[in-house]
Amino acid sequence: DRSNGALRRVETSCRGWNALKVGGCSSKTTYLRFLNNQRFEWTSDKALGRQSASKYYPNTEGITFHNGKLTFVSKAWYVIYTLDFDTMTWARERTGRGKLIGEGSFLGQPDGVISGYNQRYMYFTEEDEKGNGMYARDEWGKYYTVFEAISGQFVGDETVGLSVSPDGKTMYAGYQEKGVLFAIKRKDDKEWERYR
């Protein structure tokens, strides 16, 4: 969440939970560098990674990876970035400002992001001084309100902890400062799209 915080990739020779914590593993750290308005590379030069972050993707948070695509957000610019590892290209779009379906307004900074298993939906948490919520973006680029704080509630807080139950019927999210956790079920009793 820094203006020049380079996104880093760590490749290790070990597997599993201990891959980054146990000795005996070799690893290589590289940093995301946007080459132009379309292509990217991973560089071992941290300074180049930081320059790229400052210029193209400041204050990043929230990250998800599925099917060769890495998605993350820039809180400062209200932008979603998607890196395609197969083509080594990137794309960006502004978050749901002004094109939200349902009640609410996704005007705060995008924070966390998870992607559904089939990538039909991406879910976002938000940090905003006026009120926060959780929002979804479908595969066609339409944004929806999942929930949003009512006026005056949770001012200056942020939504966090996005997760889906193993059976897919309950989505969880909370408010960080107030310590409130919501368990959300759909009215039609269908599953939320699960994620990896």
The tokens describing 73, both together, are 């957000």
Instruction: Provide the pLDDT for residue 103.
Output: 62
**Is-contact 177 135, C-beta < 8 A?**
no
In angstroms, rounded to a whole number, what is the distance separating the alpha carbons of residues 184 and 169? 8
- pLDDT reported for residue 194: 66
What local confidence, expressed as pLDDT, does residue 109 receive?
Answer: 65
Query: Which pLDDT score is estimated for 98?
Result: 59
The segments of the chain whose pLDDT lies below 70 read 1, 20-23, 96-110, 116-119, 128-131, 151-152, 194-196
* Two tokens, residue 107: 């005007």
Instruction: Give CA–CA dist 109/60, Å, rounded.
Output: 10
Residue 195: per-residue pLDDT:
58
Q: Tell me, what's the pLDDT at 124?
A: 80
The pLDDT score that the predictor gives to residue 93 is 84
The predicted pLDDT at position 37 comes to 80
- 39-90: pLDDT as tens digits: 999 999 999 999 999 999 998 888 888 788 888 888 888 888 999 999 999 9
Which pLDDT belongs to residue 35?
Answer: 94
Reference 95, options 150, 142, 130; nearest CA is: 142
